[in-house]
Amino acid sequence: MESSSRKHHVRCIVKLGGAAITFKDKLEALNRESLSRTSLQLHEAMGGGVSFNMDWSKNLEVPDPIDMELHQKHAFVVVHGAGSFGHFQASISGVNKGGLDNSLLVNAGFVATRLSVTKLNHKVIRALASQGIPAVGMPPFAAGWSTHKRIVGSSFLDVVLRIFVDAGFVPVLHGDAVRDSHQGCCILSGDVIVRRLAEELQPSYVVFLTNVPGVFDRPPSEENAVLLQEIVVYEDGTWSIARPRLEAPVKTEMASHDTTGGMATKIAEAASISRLGMDVYIVEAGTEHALQALKGNIEQNWIGTIVRKANST
């Protein structure tokens, strides 16, 4: 890639967790309020200014050109999970286990999963666009992402994505069913996509928006669950809890229909991202703490989990 095409540094990659923007227990149930609040906060974090509706599906509300100025330095990339869109379809048909080429059930499940996740993607883009964020969808499968033994292989996406960011758009990717050259197919999770993009785009920081205030030492619904405020990651990939000091080992949770792993996977993904040198914030969507994280400017009383590389400031 020519260096001249790298005109915009990507400031932030933000992951909208499936649990934050959907109700995970009910088939294809969108959490409109959370998505709407997050879209507003994203608009503010990207620089704010006049917001006008870019969703012209109900009527053609064309804003007055006199009031309009073009800000093209959004430099955010959004990735969202599937939540209750796609997870059920994927797990009932076993898409993540492969078998695309010899099972009609998997074949149908693949199509049904994609139909569901792209439906959510459309809803997310609509929510962002209605806040004046120039969001454009990039379904990973359609953009040529594939895996080999569930590891992300080469993809054309990085180049394309860079073009989008340079054009001032905010690309919106999502967890997706993709082709796997070894097992036929698998589920590519939003978290894995975030890591892959962080490697390529080297953003200043990465934010994971969830439905709980951060990462806890046990399922947050349990009594005495403790929020892990700071996780430090070492060169060899291991990590430890820097704040607060804990005595018991960390437990994790995993919903039965969550085909892409629970909190242990999330910490591991966050750790592998922070090893690249950028801070990772895990925070509850829609809160003032989420807004601080999205701005990359967390304050003294911030509530959430920071995952950072050892020896970094």
The pairing of strands 305-309 and 279-284 is antiparallel
Q: Whole-number minimum distance, CB 96 to its own copies, in Å?
A: 16
Judged by beta carbon, residue 13 or residue 125, the one nearer its own copies is 125
- Both structure tokens of 275: 């090893």
Q: Whole-number minimum distance, CB 228 to its own copies, in Å?
A: 35
Residues at the annotated binding site?
Answer: 82-83, 87, 190, 262, 266
Q: Whole-number minimum distance, CB 105 to its own copies, in Å?
A: 6
- Both structure tokens of 294: 């999205």
Q: Would you tell me which residues interact with its own copies (CB under 8 A)?
A: 27-28, 52, 54-60, 62-63, 65, 68-70, 72, 88-89, 92-93, 100-105, 107-112, 114-116, 118-119, 122, 125-126, 129, 132, 134-139, 141-144, 146, 156, 159-160, 163, 167-169, 179
Residues at the annotated binding site for ATP?
Answer: 83, 262, 266
β-partners of residue 187 are 177
DSSP state of 57: S
CA distance linking residue 253 with residue 259, whole number of Å: 13
Helix (H, G, I), strand (E, B) or coil at 235: coil
Q: Whole-number minimum distance, CB 277 to its own copies, in Å?
A: 29
CB neighbourhood size of 272 (10 A):
20
CA distance linking residue 90 with residue 99, whole number of Å: 12
Residues at the annotated binding site for substrate?
Answer: 82, 87, 190
Q: Whole-number minimum distance, CB 74 to its own copies, in Å?
A: 11
Judged by beta carbon, residue 12 or residue 170, the one nearer its own copies is 170
Mark out the alpha helices in the chain (DSSP H runs): 18-21, 32-45, 87-93, 104-129, 157-166, 190-201, 263-274, 288-295
Judged by beta carbon, residue 111 or residue 264, the one nearer its own copies is 111
Judged by beta carbon, residue 33 or residue 101, the one nearer its own copies is 101
Judged by beta carbon, residue 104 or residue 248, the one nearer its own copies is 104
Q: Whole-number minimum distance, CB 236 to its own copies, in Å?
A: 37
User: Is the CB of residue 84 less than 8 Å from the CB of residue 18?
Assistant: yes
- Both structure tokens of 129: 């666009």
CB neighbourhood size of 2 (10 A):
5
Judged by beta carbon, residue 65 or residue 249, the one nearer its own copies is 65
Q: Rounded to a whole number, what is the distance in angstroms from the first to the last CA of the chain?
A: 31
Q: Whole-number minimum distance, CB 144 to its own copies, in Å?
A: 4
Cβ neighbours for 2, distance < 8 A, ≥ 6 positions apart: none
CA distance linking residue 286 with residue 116, whole number of Å: 24
User: Is the CB of residue 255 less than 8 Å from the CB of residue 10?
Assistant: no
Judged by beta carbon, residue 39 or residue 116, the one nearer its own copies is 116
Cβ neighbours for 65, distance < 8 A, ≥ 6 positions apart: none
